[in-house]
Chain A
Amino acid sequence: MKASETKKVHFQIYRYNPDMDKSPSMQDYYLDVPADRDIMLLRALLMLKEQDGSITFRRSCGEGVCGSDGLNINGRNGLACITPLSSLKQPVILRPLPSFPVIRDLVVDMTQFYRQYEKIKPYLQNDEPAPAEERLQSPKDRAKLDGLYECILCACCSGSCPSFWWNPDKFIGPAGLLQAYRFIIDSRDTHTDQRLSELDDPFSVFRCRGIMNCVDVCPKGLNPTRAIGKLRSLLLQHGS
């Protein structure tokens, strides 16, 4: 690539290898990227990895479907693969998802996050005898799942939620609660009452203070705060 066809982009990347480093540090990187077209941040990271093979991050599909590359990009959580480099101010500061334990560099331990997801029993529960073919659902009931089923569990929302930062073991977090609501309003699920009963404690749902960081960062444009509001209304109907 000729110099005239490229431009230099400055990155500051969080580096931490618990086996080698005493503490995390920010490392500067400069990358020549094509001047005539835009690239996604993930592409830039892959190019940086050619410069320094030790930079560690997760990635898989590269098109905003798998949710592997959730990062804190210039202070805001997002997916590297669908964030255009041109939209970012320099230096581009990359950190792992806030509050998640760091395994190495930008790779975080998602165990706690998945444990919360597991708590809401993210599968259909139905006590009625199974029909010969499949459980049918009217288009109207199916439409209720729109805006909920699209979640890819990238953890951008829960990683931006202070309530989840302080109580990741007790507060289910926006991602888990969006899914809790998704199964509670599913017409094919018959465990609605049990599901609601399991959420009526001071932490699981009610630790949400409604600051809407989750809505602000969701790369899929979903609205966990609205789902949590609906859960509260359902809990009120269920419990009063």
Chain B
Amino acid sequence: MVSNATSYTGSGLRDWLIQRVSAVVLGAYILFLLVFFMSHSGMEYATWEGLFGQLWMKVFTFVALLSLYAHAWIGVWTVLTDYIKPVAIRVTLEVLVVLSLLTYLIWGIVVVWSI
């Protein structure tokens, strides 16, 4: 058993499962947005607001943002633990990544909930 303090959940199985489930959520969200934008040519603010103003879309966006937060944490953490060996540099980068992700998450929620 290899212990680790900076991985998303500390469990390999949980990280792995979350990364797969969040990938499906993000895939569905991106596909949905693509179809929506392609089927609404000449987009206006009203169309956009009409979509994002609805509660189900807010929840869908919130779940997608949360998925992005977890997915990117696990993914970037994996890359950093592969390639950055000096502990001080790696942990600094890991903390910066997590703080940025947290900022994006909160910012995204504020934006979507203010519509």
Cβ of A200: which chain B residues have Cβ within 8 Å of it? 1, 11-13
How many residue pairs link A and B with beta carbons under 8 A? The number is: 53
Cβ of B12: which chain A residues have Cβ within 8 Å of it? 199-206, 235
Q: Given A202-B2, A202-B7, A203-B4, does the pair A239, B13 have CB atoms closer than 8 Å?
A: yes
Whether B2 contacts A236 by the Cβ 8 Å rule is no
Contact with B along A186-205 (1 / 0, CB 8 A): 00000000000111111111
**B44 interface residue per 8 A CB criterion:** no
Q: How many B residues touch the partner, as a band?
A: 10 to 19
Whether A201 contacts B16 by the Cβ 8 Å rule is no
CA distance A162 to B82 in the complex (A): 9
Cβ of B7: which chain A residues have Cβ within 8 Å of it? 202
Whether B81 contacts A236 by the Cβ 8 Å rule is no
- Within B1-50, the residues touching A (CB, 8 Å) are 1-4, 7, 10-17
Whether B11 contacts A201 by the Cβ 8 Å rule is yes
Whether B1 contacts A201 by the Cβ 8 Å rule is yes
Q: A residues bordering B, Cβ < 8 Å?
A: 162-163, 166-167, 170, 197-207, 232, 235-236, 239
Having A201-B3, A202-B11, A204-B2, one finds 17 other A-B pairs with CB under 8 Å, namely A163-B82, A167-B81, A167-B82, A170-B2, A198-B1, A199-B12, A200-B1, A200-B11, A200-B13, A202-B15, A202-B78, A203-B4, A205-B12, A206-B12, A235-B12, A236-B13, A239-B14
